[in-house]
Amino acid sequence: MKTYAYWNDHRSGTRPTFIEKPEAVDVAVIGAGFTGLSTALGLVRAGRSVAVMDAGEPGSGCSSRNGGMIGPSMHKLGLRGLTSKYGEKQAKDILSEGLTAIGFFRAFIDTEGIDCDLQMTGRFRGAMSDQDFQKLTEEVKDLETIPGFKADVIPHSEQHHEVGTDLYRGGVVYHQDGGLNPAKLVDALTQRVVDSGGMLVNNTFVQGWDRDKDGYRLSTASGSIKAREIVVATNGYTPYAFRKFRRRIIPIRSAIAVTEELEPDLLDRLSPHSRMHGDTRRLVVYYRRTPDGKRLLLGSRSQGPLDAYDRIAAGIRKTYSQIYPEIADIPFSHCWAGTVAYTFDHAPHTGTLDGVHYAMGYCGSGVVRSVFLGSRLAGKILGRDDCRTAFDDLPFTAPFYYWGYPLGMNLLMKWHALRDRMI
């Protein structure tokens, strides 16, 4: 079993070369994932000198190691929860922004001519109980008030047309979701940043920054770099050195395994339409066919060390044997893990904190959100009035009791697992 992301075996080919750290730039972007690369691309094409700095290589965090699922990412609180918190107008604006984001993303992929195995097959979300099915049905009715939203409620009697399991009590198909190869998207964004004149500085950990008369001086182990402006795009890999940002996000462990190739008839029975899949349990699961249609990719929240691959694989196997008993003994070809960033209000955030620009906190739905918000952030830095988003005005506060270390997270995961078993 390979202990790295399946996507790495299916990348685009040639990777760009990297440069030595420059002495000074207009903008230093910290983090070379989807957010940082999208922000950098917009700035470089507008004539700014930009250095994208990363402690590893582009996309080496979550951007090249996620499940490759995309969609509008309608807010976890739903219309009713958002209305209770922000009022009806802002609630609908937030939900509409998700549809704007997926529309922007698809247009961006098309305009840029990016080959990343994009397949808009929709997503099926299964209900773990009759009560969950009722809640999903009510959520769909609420979301249908948002112009452009498309979904179908699938009763239990019809669910085998969508997923080959008896576990669920019906579910919902969301038609604006799909899948892709995230590593190919990373490679394409990286190449476009370089081709446009951006500078990529890899394996360079930024230790912090200080203000000076012309902007900022960033500190690294190999020396400093001056920048007029800074963008923090580190998301789930935000180090404690950036504590003002780290305090505002909760790093959550996520893990994925990919099966060996399966028989076509079995795959067609388990996932008839090659949709993205998930369900209503608290410990999130997300699964799909790989872009070539020959394997299953199985994702879940992870407990314990991120490098305990045998333990991680065993946990994934146990979870998915419940969904698909037919694959209980199928070997895994790949297994890996990483970190995503949640926020205390379940929403992504973008803006400026103490003069430093940022976008982060995608709550496990970051592929579309990061490219969209990164592009919008570039526009705002350039002073464009047409790049505001519904997320700009959401308070991004740090609870007084939280200092960036998710103590007790394993206990919380165990509690959610217990609640799931009680359904």
Going residue by residue through the chain (423 aa), what tens digit of pLDDT does each one get?
A: 999 999 999 987 766 666 778 899 999 999 999 999 999 999 999 999 999 999 999 999 999 999 999 999 876 778 888 888 888 898 899 999 999 999 999 999 999 999 999 999 999 999 999 999 999 999 999 999 999 999 999 999 999 999 999 999 999 999 999 999 999 999 999 999 999 999 999 999 999 999 988 899 999 988 999 999 999 999 999 998 999 999 999 999 999 999 999 999 999 999 999 999 999 998 899 999 999 999 999 999 877 677 889 999 999 999 999 999 999 999 999 999 999 999 999 899 999 999 999 999 999 999 999 999 999 999 999 999 999 999 998 999 988 888 887 765 454 444 334 444 545
What pLDDT is attached to residue 16? Answer: 67
Amino acid present at 225:
I
Residue 66 in 3-state DSSP?
A: coil
pTM higher than 0.75: yes
Following DSSP, what letter does each residue of 93-155 receive, concatenated? Answer: HHHHHHHHHHHHHHHHHHHHT--S--B---EEEE-SSHHHHHHHHHHHHHHTTSTT--EEEE-
The pLDDT value recorded for residue 412 is 43
| Cα–Cα distance, 294 to 13 (Å, whole number) | 21
Question: Which of helix, strand or coil describes residue 7?
Answer: helix
* Residue 409 confidence (pLDDT): 47
Please, what is the Cα angle at 35 between 5 and 349, to 5 degrees? Answer: 115
pLDDT (0 to 100) of residue 423: 53
pLDDT at residue 410, as a whole number: 52
Domains of the chain, each with CATH number or no CATH: 7-66+183-249+344-411 (3.50.50.60)
pLDDT, position 419: 46
Q: Are 388 and 381 in contact (CB under 8 A)?
A: no
**What is the SS3 assignment for 188?**
helix
Query: What is d(CA 236, CA 1) in angstroms, rounded to the nearest whole number?
Result: 26
Which pLDDT belongs to residue 79?
A: 84
DSSP secondary-structure letter at 10? Answer: G
Query: For the sheet containing 332-342, what is the strand order?
Result: 151-154, 171-174, 123-126, 276-279, 285-289, 296-301, 250-259, 332-342
Query: Could you tell me which of 258, 202, 185 has the C-alpha nearest to residue 12?
Result: 185
Task: Check residue 188 and give its pLDDT.
Answer: 96
